Structures are given as C-alpha cells and as structure tokens.
Structure 1
Amino acid sequence: MSATAAVPTGEAAKTDRVVVDVSNLTAGYLPGINIINGANLVARKGELIGIIGPNGAGKSTLLKAIFGMVNVRGGDITVNGESIVGLKSDKLVARGVGFVPQTNNVFPSLTIEENLQMGLYQNPRVFSERLDFVTGIFAELGKRLKQRAGSLSGGERQMVAMGRALMMDPAVLLLDEPSAGLSPVRQDDAFIRVSDINKAGVTTIMVEQNARRCLQICDRGYVLDQGHDAHTGTGRELLADPKVIGLYLGTLGQED
C-alpha cells in the first residue's frame, strides 16, 4: 500500500476475500503432544479477528503455528490461497505475514528508526514510503525516531514492535497479547492502536487475555478451548452468548 494512496477505513476496507485460512490444524512443540487439535480460523481482507480462551487453550500457539514457530502435524494454513506450512519466518514475512510477539519484541539498543529499518531488511528501498505510513498511525514515533527503544515504556515499545511489523506492508498482522503487562490506561491505548491499524486496511488477528475488550473491537471472534475453536461469531454475538459469558467472560473479561 502506498503511503500516498487513499487509505480504506471501516466497513469499506472489509471484503469477502479470504486472506488467512486455518483448516483442521494440528500442531505442537514436542513429539506426540499436540497443543492445537483441529483448530479452524478464517480472516477476510480488512477484518479484525480476536482469539480468546482460558490459559493453556493454545491461543499463542495457534499464532506461532501460523508464523512457522510450531510444528504443524496436520491440516493446512493458507495466506492469499497459498499454503505456508513449513515455511521459515523470513519466507513468511516475504509472503505478507507480520508477527508481533508478546515479549522481547524490540531491539533495545537500537533507536526507534533503526528498529523500523530492521522491519524492512528484505526491501530497504521503500523505507521512506513505509515510514510515512507507520508514523501516520503512530505519530509519536515520528517525533522520536532517534530515541533508543530500551528507554521506552512498555506501551511505547509495543508501538515500535507493531510499527516494525507494518513496515513490510503485511497482508495479515498477527498480534500476541498486545495489552499484556500494561497498566489499565496503557491497555486502552493498546486496543485503540490495534483498531487504528485495522482501520488503515490491515487484516489483523489478535490473541488477547482481556476477552471482553477484545470482543468489543473485533469484527469476529474465536473462543479457543483445548486447542480447538469451541465458539465463533461476531464480537457482539460472543459478548451476548450465555455460554461464552458463563464459561469465559466471567473469568477472562474485564469490565470497563
């Protein structure tokens, strides 16, 4: 996407074209032990997808499986119609998959600008164009490009990590617990940032422990339990579903 191009927003940015299709996925870290057991997920262009569920349900493992960090033993994962199973991270980035891990997601000894440059190591020629796009979403970063990332707060580091992943103009952005470890105020900021990224036209899949807040901003949600999708629906539908409220939102949701 060109930085000077019209930026799609809201419903106009969403289409029926499938960007990510996870089908009957089985995956795990250790031989013979599967964390993901037949999970399914679809993300269409422009959608914001939320993944919630209890601790140990496999939420982060599902994201890592999409990004090639977990052994896939069955099923398939496609991005824009092409299977990505077995590809290494650098190939996935080139295919349009961006990933922001929960922790250790910036280079603390590098400046903000240098962190963003690292996001474009495969295509450094478009740095100025992509910098304009990223600082259009995260205006604060544009004012502090020479500041070292190690001196930033947790919320600010999260912005840098998201910005770096956006530098390659990903087809889909994977976010692992973007509000984790942040104060309540900074958590609200994180969810606003995720919404801003999605409104700029970026298909986004977010794993989040703050289930209620996640469902409030996502187009569709998946409730993961024991490695498979136990419930799915729009964010509003899941927020109003008695089973989801009773089993998950009572312990996972945070009232505003």
Structure 2
Amino acid sequence: MTTERVLQTTDLHAGYLPGVNILNGCNVHVDKGELVGIIGPNGAGKSTLLKAIFGQVQVRGGSIELNGQDITGLKADKLVSRGVGMVPQNNNVFPTLTIDENLQMGVYQKPRMYKERLAFVTDLFPELGKRLKQRAGSLSGGERQMVAMSRALMMDPTVLLLDEPSAGLSPVRQDETFINVAQINRAGVSVMIVEQNARRALQICDRGYVLDQGKDAYEGRGRELMNDPKVIELYLGTLAADQEKAKAAPQP
C-alpha cells in the first residue's frame, strides 16, 4: 500500500537571531492520517520547528513540503488557505469573544464553509455546541484548548500543528486534552504535536521524533520510543535514574 505523505521537512535550518540557528538540519514527516509527536529537551527546537513550518520563523536552509508542494517561507495566511492549521501554546483564543465568534474567526478566509465546519467540530466536541454563546475568557484552560483546536479545524486542514497543548493544565485537563487530540486524529486529521509531557504524548502517537540541538536524533513508533534506552538516556533521564536506583536497591 502506498503511503501518502502530507508534510515533510528536509534538512531544515531556521532561527530567530542573525547567524544563530535553532534548527540545524531537521528531517521529519507526517503521513496521511498519522499522529506524530515531537519531543526533546528544552531548547531542542521543538516549538521552533512548528513555527518554521507555519512561516513564523525564518527558514535559512532546507525545505518544507505540503502534499508534495514546496511551501517553504510562505506566510501563515497562505499556509492556512493551503491546508495547514496551527494552535500556538499561548494566546490561542480571543477571550472577549464567544465560542461561536472564535470559531467564525477560524473560517474568515472562507465564511461560506462556516455551517459545514461548525457541524463537524460540534459533532466532534458536542459540549461546544451547547455553549456557543459563552465567552471564551470564562472557560477553563482545557476548554480553551478545545476551542483553539476547533477554530484551527474550521478551515478543514490537511495537517494540524499543536504546540504543547497540555502546558499549564492540571493533570485532569491534560488527560482531557490528549483525549481530544486523539479524537481529532481519529476523525481523519493528520496531526503533529509538540509536547513536554513526552510519555503521555507518545502513548497516543503513531510515531515520534526526539529532537536534540535542532536535529532529529531518533525516530520510532510512539510506544517503542518510550522504552528505547537511547531515548531514555537523551531525554527521559529521570526515568533512567529511577530504574538504576530500583536495580541497586536491596531486594525483599
């Protein structure tokens, strides 16, 4: 069976300051229907990768392709119209607007899609349909994430980019958010998710990448990466230390 590749970066170099790259040859891809996780230590370039794909960071080398077409350097509005959705980590809803108004903002380029896409997201998240007139600023952190993801889905994206959707949430709200991400993926949306909560993210991902110093250091199936000794040494170091302590402890 032929695999359809929806998103791919090749030897990607990008950064914020002149002469200083955060990404140093990053190669990742997402196939149709996949949920792909990006993990790694702080400063590895995870969020920078998403911002580079979404035209928010200068790309200085390499390429980005969407459905086989070069999209390197395109601005966010062009990327949205071509099928890239993005949910940033911070400031991802308009707090003074209602849920309904937030969703309308998501489809501003093609307002005629509104009714069809509203039906899609409220079928996916029925709770939204009951609270459309509620202001987004009155929602919990997890509920705001649901609204932000739903707004990004309003343009029917080919791939959805999520930047640390569980950040700052309580454990219960984190679980709800990961369930929502998996639900979006099951609905047929390809997803790339950056997460600091690596273990939880890898549990729901088809595949994952570990970034280190702006490069893709390791790739594998989600659950396999959780138990890979090299990944544990590089990123899940606390887990490795705990395992060593357990081995050294006297046995009852």
TM-score normalised per structure 2: 0.93
Which of 224, 229, 243 lines up with 2:216 in the alignment? 229
Q: 1:186 is matched with which residue?
A: 173
Partner of 1:93: 80
**Correspondence for 1:154 among 131, 138, 141:** 141
Write the deviation string for residues 94-152 of structure 1: whole angstroms up to 9, x where unpaired.
Answer: 01000000010001111000000000001111111100110111111110000010111
Whether contact under 8 Å (1:36, 1:62) holds in the other structure is: yes
* Distance (Å, rounded) in 1 between the aligned partners of 2:194 and 2:239: 13
Shift of 1:164: 0.2
| Residue 250 of structure 1, CA deviation | 3.4
Contact 2:232/2:239 (8 A) holds in 1: no
CA 123–26 in structure 1, closer or farther in 2 if over 3 Å, else same = same
Instruction: Quote the Cα distance in structure 1 between the aligned partners of 2:87 and 2:80.
Output: 12
Q: Which moved more, 1:241-250 or 1:86-95?
A: 241-250
- Distance of 2:35 and 2:184 partners within structure 1: 9
Name which of structure 1's ranges 56-65 and 239-248 shifts more when overlaid on structure 2: 239-248
**Equivalent in 78, 83, 99 of residue 65 of structure 2:** 78
Is the Cα contact below 8 Å between 1:52 and 1:209 reproduced in 2? yes
Verify: 1:52 aligned to 2:77, yes or no: no
- The aligned counterpart of 1:143 is 130
Which residue of the partner structure matches residue 5 of structure 2? 18
List 4+ stretches of structure 1 deviating above 6 A: none
Structure 2: gaps of 5 or more residues: 241-252
In structure 2, what is the equivalent of residue 164 of structure 1?
A: 151
- Aligned residue for 1:94, secondary structure, equals helix
Q: Find the partner of 1:210 among 149, 174, 197.
A: 197
User: How big is the shift at 1:252?
Assistant: 8.2
Three-state SS of the structure 1 residue aligned to 2:200 is: helix
Q: Do residues 104 (structure 1) and 94 (structure 2) align?
A: no
Amino acid at match of 1:95: R
* Alignment partners' CA distance in 2, 1:73 and 1:186: 37
How far apart are residue 15 of structure 1 and its match?
6.8
How far does the alpha carbon of each residue in 1:133-185 deviate from its partner, in whole angstroms, 9 at most, with x for none?
A: 10111111110000010111111110000000000000000000010000001
Q: Structure 1 219/55 Cα, relative in aligned 2: closer, same or farther at 3 Å?
A: same
1:34 maps to: 21
SS at match of 1:78: strand
Corresponding residue number in structure 1 for 2:112: 125
- Aligned equivalents of 1:179, 1:169: Cα separation in 2: 23
Deviation per CA, 1:201-228: give whole Å up to 9, x if none: 0000000000011111100000000000
CA displacement at 1:239 relative to structure 2:
1.3
- TM-score, normalising length from structure 1? 0.92
Structure possessing the higher radius of gyration over alpha carbons:
2
Q: Distance in 2 between matches of 1:104 and 1:121?
A: 18
Q: Distance in 2 between matches of 1:198 and 1:82?
A: 23
Q: Give the structure 1 partner of residue 55 of structure 2.
A: 68
Show CA shifts across 1:26-53 (max 9, x none).
Answer: 0001110000000000100000000000
How far residue 247 of structure 1 moved from its aligned partner, in angstroms, is 2.4
Asked if 2 retains the 8 angstrom alpha-carbon contact of 1:15 and 1:44, the reply is: no
Aligned length: 241
